[in-house]
Amino acid sequence: MRLCPSVMHLFARWLRSCSRRSRNRMPQRLREPLSYVQLLISSLYFNSLTNSDVVVDSLFEPVFWMVDILTRWFGKVFVFLVVALTSSILFIAYVCLLPMVLNTYTPFWIVWHVCYGHWNLIMIAFHYYKATSTSPGYPPKMKNDIPFVSVCKKCVIPKPPRTHHCGICNTCILKMDHHCPWLNNCVGHFNHRYFFSFCLYMTLGCLYCSVSGRTLFIDAYNAIDSYHTSSTPYTFKDRMFHKSVIYMWVLTSTVAVALGGLTVWHAILISRGETSIERHINSKEAKYMTKRGKIYKNPYNYGKLNNWKVFFGVEKKSHWLTRVLLPSGHVPYGDGLAWDIYPLKKDMMPV
């Protein structure tokens, strides 16, 4: 770890001595690029805190920059894919499956499928729209008296607790969790609940389609498989119906597994009072404290139940219905700038 700055220092001295010998015979147009290269190399060992991690990050900075640019450009494409794929499933459900349900199912199951399916659809559409259109929250750029923990090196503004810089949005985000390309937006203090609720209800919707359509998928697969050996006529309408059922089941099952895993991971983080970024920071801090015989405690962990109450904004029992199971546009607790507003006790909200 300590060898790297010395090597870089020797390399810079050698480069500087070579440049001095050739400076007189070097054209003016090449002197400025050479000076810039010297400045870059010197910045790698400008203080004693430089180590191999800093050097690797500096070398990979062009790669990170390219990833940020591509993610920013393709954000709208990802949003279009979410809308298009979801719309395709809705088209199959309304055109192909709903008439069959109305003609073959009992009244009880008809009411169940119609009510649950439309409730789930409303929750998905509402939370996705809110997650994409709601600002995650930004720290003030003007001078103020709000407490801060550091200064952003890129924005050059004070960073409140739990605030991190997003290279894709090119700004600091309050209680940043991550930048989601499927939302074309950062997930932060003011839209974190919308993001998680969208993931949750989209997973439930995909599970619903996968479980309820399993028998239809098997029948459609067998029908297509036996098409070449059967003597019965196989019309274009039948072929499109079976292929649509297979497409719906494969897509919803795949999304249910992938998005379900992501939803479970975020549920674990919420139970611990952490974001995705804080998970890595807290893990490093816990290891650092353990080596010194101490125990690290997350200051934003109020207990599993209280963490969920704070996250969903539950203040009374009826809020589990009106703010969790029904669409709600209420704002989260606090302003995302200060985090000492919640009393740390056993049962913060007796709900």
pLDDT tens across 96-121, in order?
A: 899 999 999 999 999 999 999 999 99
- For residue 345, name the pLDDT band (cuts at 50, 70, 90): very low
Q: What is the pLDDT of residue 2?
A: 43
148 part of a folded domain: no
Q: For residue 332, give the DSSP letter.
A: P
- Pairing of β 158-159 and β 171-173: unpaired
Q: What mean pLDDT comes out for the span 286-307?
A: 90
Lowest mean pLDDT, pick from 61-65, 89-93, 199-203:
61-65
Q: What mean pLDDT comes out for the span 222-248?
A: 83
Percent of the residues in the chain that have a pLDDT greater than 90, as a whole number? 53
Instruction: Give me the DSSP letters along 35-71.
Output: HHHHHHHHHTTSSTT--HHHHHHHHTHHHHHHHHHHH
286 part of a folded domain: yes
Longest C-alpha distance within the chain, in Å? 93
154 part of a folded domain: no
Whole-model pTM: value is 0.79
* HSE-CB of 303 using CA atoms within 13 angstroms: 11
pLDDT at 7 over 60: no
Q: What is the pLDDT of residue 53?
A: 63
Cα gap 317→333, rounded to integer Å: 17
Average pLDDT, the chain: 85
Tokens of 255: 């999304």
pLDDT at 62 over 80: no
Domain hosting residue 112, numbered range: 67-135+187-325
Q: What mean pLDDT comes out for the span 6-12?
A: 55
Q: What is the pLDDT of residue 123?
A: 98
Phi, psi of 147 (to 5 degrees): -65, 145
pLDDT at 347 over 70: no
pLDDT at 64 over 70: no
- For residue 40, name the pLDDT band (cuts at 50, 70, 90): confident
Phi, psi of 180 (to 5 degrees): -100, 115
112 part of a folded domain: yes
Q: What is the pLDDT of residue 344?
A: 44
170 part of a folded domain: no
Cα gap 108→114, rounded to integer Å: 10
Cα gap 260→264, rounded to integer Å: 6
Q: What mean pLDDT comes out for the span 309-327?
A: 94
- For residue 349, name the pLDDT band (cuts at 50, 70, 90): low
Q: What is the pLDDT of residue 47?
A: 59
Q: What mean pLDDT comes out for the span 20-48?
A: 68
Q: What is the pLDDT of residue 307?
A: 93
Q: What is the pLDDT of residue 17?
A: 62
- Are the beta carbons of 276 and 177 closer than 8 angstroms? yes
Going by C-alpha positions, the residue among 350, 175, 202 that lies closest to residue 270 is 175
Q: For residue 317, give the DSSP letter.
A: T
Domain count across the chain:
1
- H helix runs in the chain, sequence order: 3-22, 28-43, 52-59, 61-92, 98-104, 107-133, 192-212, 214-225, 236-272, 276-291, 304-312, 319
Percent of the residues in the chain that have a pLDDT greater than 70, as a whole number? 81
pLDDT at 38 over 70: yes
**Residues forming beta bridges with residue 164, ordered by sequence position:** 173
Q: What is the pLDDT of residue 46?
A: 59
Q: Which of 166, 169, 172, 180 is catalytic?
A: 180
Cα gap 269→288, rounded to integer Å: 21
Cα gap 136→40, rounded to integer Å: 34
pLDDT at 20 over 70: no
pLDDT at 259 over 70: yes
28 part of a folded domain: no
pLDDT at 127 over 90: yes
Q: What mean pLDDT comes out for the span 149-169?
A: 88
- Are the beta carbons of 133 and 207 closer than 8 angstroms? no
Q: What is the pLDDT of residue 18?
A: 59
- For residue 30, name the pLDDT band (cuts at 50, 70, 90): confident
**Residues forming beta bridges with residue 178, ordered by sequence position:** 187
117 part of a folded domain: yes
pLDDT at 49 over 60: no
Going by C-alpha positions, the residue among 57, 30, 24, 22 that lies closest to residue 43 is 57
Helix (H, G, I), strand (E, B) or coil at 141: coil
Is residue 180 among the annotated active site residues?
yes
- Are the beta carbons of 185 and 131 closer than 8 angstroms? yes
Helix (H) or strand (E) holding 147: none
pLDDT digits (tens, 9 = 90+) for 177-189: 999 999 999 999 9
Q: What is the pLDDT of residue 14?
A: 59
pLDDT at 37 over 90: no
84 part of a folded domain: yes
Helix (H) or strand (E) holding 158: strand 158-159
